[in-house]
Amino acid sequence: MKRLAVTVCLVVIPSLAAISAERRLPWDQMPAAVSEALHALRQTDHWLAEAMAENLDGDRQGLNNETGRSFNFDASRHLLYSVSDLNGDGRPKVFLLFPWPYVRGNQQAAGIVMILTRRDEWRIGCEFYDWGDDSRRGGIRLLDTRSHGWRNFRTSDAFFVWRPVADQPGVMECVPTAPVPARRQGRAAR
Protein backbone atom coordinates (compact mmCIF):
# COMPACT_ATOMS: atom_id res chain seq x y z
CA MET A 1 0.00 0.00 0.00
CA LYS A 2 2.85 2.41 0.82
CA ARG A 3 4.39 1.80 -2.63
CA LEU A 4 1.09 2.64 -4.30
CA ALA A 5 0.78 5.93 -2.36
CA VAL A 6 4.35 6.94 -3.24
CA THR A 7 3.79 6.06 -6.91
CA VAL A 8 0.57 8.08 -7.04
CA CYS A 9 2.29 11.09 -5.46
CA LEU A 10 5.15 10.93 -7.95
CA VAL A 11 2.73 10.77 -10.86
CA VAL A 12 0.43 13.54 -9.58
CA ILE A 13 3.09 16.09 -8.52
CA PRO A 14 4.59 16.62 -12.01
CA SER A 15 1.06 16.97 -13.45
CA LEU A 16 0.18 19.72 -10.95
CA ALA A 17 3.44 21.53 -11.70
CA ALA A 18 2.66 21.44 -15.42
CA ILE A 19 -0.83 22.84 -14.82
CA SER A 20 0.40 25.69 -12.64
CA ALA A 21 3.10 26.57 -15.18
CA GLU A 22 0.49 26.81 -17.94
CA ARG A 23 -1.58 29.30 -15.93
CA ARG A 24 1.24 31.63 -15.01
CA LEU A 25 0.82 35.03 -16.65
CA PRO A 26 3.54 37.63 -17.30
CA TRP A 27 2.07 40.34 -15.05
CA ASP A 28 5.12 42.55 -15.37
CA GLN A 29 5.22 42.63 -19.18
CA MET A 30 3.35 44.53 -21.83
CA PRO A 31 3.43 43.63 -25.52
CA ALA A 32 6.47 44.98 -27.37
CA ALA A 33 4.24 46.97 -29.74
CA VAL A 34 2.69 48.84 -26.80
CA SER A 35 6.07 49.59 -25.26
CA GLU A 36 7.45 50.84 -28.58
CA ALA A 37 4.35 52.95 -29.31
CA LEU A 38 4.45 54.52 -25.84
CA HIS A 39 8.16 55.26 -26.22
CA ALA A 40 7.53 56.87 -29.62
CA LEU A 41 4.71 59.00 -28.19
CA ARG A 42 6.99 60.20 -25.39
CA GLN A 43 9.47 61.46 -28.03
CA THR A 44 6.88 63.82 -29.54
CA ASP A 45 5.77 67.28 -28.46
CA HIS A 46 2.20 66.07 -27.86
CA TRP A 47 0.69 67.47 -24.64
CA LEU A 48 0.46 63.96 -23.12
CA ALA A 49 4.18 63.38 -23.77
CA GLU A 50 5.01 66.70 -22.14
CA ALA A 51 2.89 65.81 -19.10
CA MET A 52 4.67 62.46 -18.78
CA ALA A 53 8.04 64.25 -18.81
CA GLU A 54 7.14 66.47 -15.83
CA ASN A 55 8.41 65.58 -12.35
CA LEU A 56 5.28 65.92 -10.25
CA ASP A 57 6.92 64.62 -7.08
CA GLY A 58 9.56 67.33 -6.76
CA ASP A 59 12.33 66.23 -4.40
CA ARG A 60 10.27 63.24 -3.21
CA GLN A 61 10.62 61.41 -6.52
CA GLY A 62 9.82 57.71 -6.50
CA LEU A 63 7.13 55.38 -5.28
CA ASN A 64 8.35 55.25 -1.67
CA ASN A 65 7.90 58.72 -0.30
CA GLU A 66 6.09 60.27 2.65
CA THR A 67 3.05 61.25 0.61
CA GLY A 68 2.34 57.72 -0.63
CA ARG A 69 2.33 56.87 -4.31
CA SER A 70 4.16 58.88 -6.91
CA PHE A 71 2.16 61.40 -8.93
CA ASN A 72 4.44 60.84 -11.94
CA PHE A 73 3.24 58.79 -14.91
CA ASP A 74 3.51 55.06 -14.23
CA ALA A 75 2.53 52.83 -17.17
CA SER A 76 1.63 49.97 -14.82
CA ARG A 77 -1.11 52.13 -13.21
CA HIS A 78 -1.89 54.95 -15.63
CA LEU A 79 -2.14 53.19 -19.01
CA LEU A 80 -4.74 51.00 -20.68
CA TYR A 81 -3.90 49.64 -24.10
CA SER A 82 -5.11 47.47 -26.95
CA VAL A 83 -3.31 46.23 -30.06
CA SER A 84 -5.14 45.54 -33.31
CA ASP A 85 -4.43 45.30 -37.03
CA LEU A 86 -7.14 47.61 -38.33
CA ASN A 87 -6.38 47.32 -42.04
CA GLY A 88 -5.00 43.80 -42.50
CA ASP A 89 -1.45 44.88 -43.36
CA GLY A 90 0.10 42.88 -40.52
CA ARG A 91 1.34 45.99 -38.71
CA PRO A 92 0.03 46.77 -35.24
CA LYS A 93 -2.07 49.76 -34.40
CA VAL A 94 -1.97 50.55 -30.70
CA PHE A 95 -4.71 52.25 -28.71
CA LEU A 96 -3.20 53.98 -25.67
CA LEU A 97 -5.62 55.29 -23.04
CA PHE A 98 -4.40 57.36 -20.08
CA PRO A 99 -6.64 57.09 -17.00
CA TRP A 100 -3.94 59.03 -15.16
CA PRO A 101 -5.53 61.34 -12.59
CA TYR A 102 -3.06 64.16 -13.34
CA VAL A 103 -4.32 64.57 -16.93
CA ARG A 104 -7.79 63.06 -16.54
CA GLY A 105 -9.31 64.74 -13.52
CA ASN A 106 -12.91 63.55 -13.37
CA GLN A 107 -13.38 63.64 -17.15
CA GLN A 108 -12.98 61.01 -19.84
CA ALA A 109 -9.44 59.71 -20.26
CA ALA A 110 -7.37 60.98 -23.18
CA GLY A 111 -6.26 58.40 -25.72
CA ILE A 112 -4.02 58.12 -28.75
CA VAL A 113 -3.99 55.70 -31.69
CA MET A 114 -0.37 54.96 -32.63
CA ILE A 115 0.32 53.54 -36.09
CA LEU A 116 3.45 51.65 -37.17
CA THR A 117 4.38 52.88 -40.66
CA ARG A 118 5.97 50.92 -43.49
CA ARG A 119 9.28 52.47 -42.47
CA ASP A 120 8.89 50.92 -38.99
CA GLU A 121 8.32 54.31 -37.40
CA TRP A 122 5.48 55.04 -35.00
CA ARG A 123 3.24 58.04 -35.57
CA ILE A 124 0.07 59.42 -34.03
CA GLY A 125 -3.05 58.46 -35.99
CA CYS A 126 -5.48 60.49 -33.88
CA GLU A 127 -6.49 61.51 -30.40
CA PHE A 128 -9.70 60.39 -28.71
CA TYR A 129 -11.45 60.41 -25.33
CA ASP A 130 -13.11 57.51 -23.54
CA TRP A 131 -14.29 56.52 -20.06
CA GLY A 132 -12.17 53.37 -20.51
CA ASP A 133 -12.28 51.78 -17.11
CA ASP A 134 -16.01 52.33 -16.63
CA SER A 135 -17.58 49.45 -18.53
CA ARG A 136 -21.05 51.01 -18.37
CA ARG A 137 -19.97 54.02 -20.43
CA GLY A 138 -16.51 53.28 -21.73
CA GLY A 139 -14.69 50.93 -23.98
CA ILE A 140 -13.35 51.27 -27.48
CA ARG A 141 -15.32 49.17 -29.91
CA LEU A 142 -14.13 48.18 -33.37
CA LEU A 143 -16.92 48.40 -35.93
CA ASP A 144 -17.60 46.20 -38.94
CA THR A 145 -17.70 49.29 -41.17
CA ARG A 146 -14.55 50.40 -42.94
CA SER A 147 -13.15 53.59 -44.40
CA HIS A 148 -10.48 53.24 -47.08
CA GLY A 149 -9.98 49.61 -45.95
CA TRP A 150 -9.47 50.52 -42.26
CA ARG A 151 -11.90 49.40 -39.55
CA ASN A 152 -13.80 52.26 -37.99
CA PHE A 153 -14.22 52.41 -34.22
CA ARG A 154 -16.20 54.19 -31.57
CA THR A 155 -15.44 55.43 -28.11
CA SER A 156 -17.79 56.73 -25.45
CA ASP A 157 -17.21 60.15 -27.02
CA ALA A 158 -17.52 59.72 -30.81
CA PHE A 159 -17.50 57.54 -33.92
CA PHE A 160 -14.18 57.53 -35.79
CA VAL A 161 -13.49 56.91 -39.49
CA TRP A 162 -10.26 56.90 -41.47
CA ARG A 163 -9.20 59.30 -44.21
CA PRO A 164 -6.01 59.91 -46.20
CA VAL A 165 -3.69 62.62 -44.91
CA ALA A 166 -3.38 65.45 -47.44
CA ASP A 167 -0.02 65.59 -49.26
CA GLN A 168 1.12 62.26 -47.72
CA PRO A 169 0.26 59.35 -50.04
CA GLY A 170 -0.64 56.13 -48.24
CA VAL A 171 -0.82 57.80 -44.81
CA MET A 172 -4.12 57.54 -42.94
CA GLU A 173 -5.54 59.34 -39.92
CA CYS A 174 -8.65 58.71 -37.85
CA VAL A 175 -11.14 61.51 -37.38
CA PRO A 176 -14.31 61.80 -35.31
CA THR A 177 -17.38 61.98 -37.51
CA ALA A 178 -20.14 62.42 -34.98
CA PRO A 179 -20.65 62.27 -31.26
CA VAL A 180 -22.17 59.08 -29.90
CA PRO A 181 -25.96 59.64 -29.75
CA ALA A 182 -27.26 60.27 -26.23
CA ARG A 183 -29.76 57.40 -26.43
CA ARG A 184 -26.93 54.92 -27.18
CA GLN A 185 -24.95 56.21 -24.23
CA GLY A 186 -28.07 55.83 -22.07
CA ARG A 187 -28.56 52.22 -23.16
CA ALA A 188 -24.95 51.36 -22.46
CA ALA A 189 -25.23 52.84 -18.96
CA ARG A 190 -28.12 50.57 -17.97
Domain boundaries defined on the chain: 30-189
Mean pLDDT for 180-185 is 50
Q: CA of 161: how far to CAs of 129, 178, 186, in Å? A: 15, 10, 23
Binned at pLDDT 50, 70 and 90, residue 30 comes out as confident
Lowest mean pLDDT among 30-34, 145-149, 179-183: 179-183
pLDDT tier for residue 41 given thresholds of 50, 70 and 90: very high
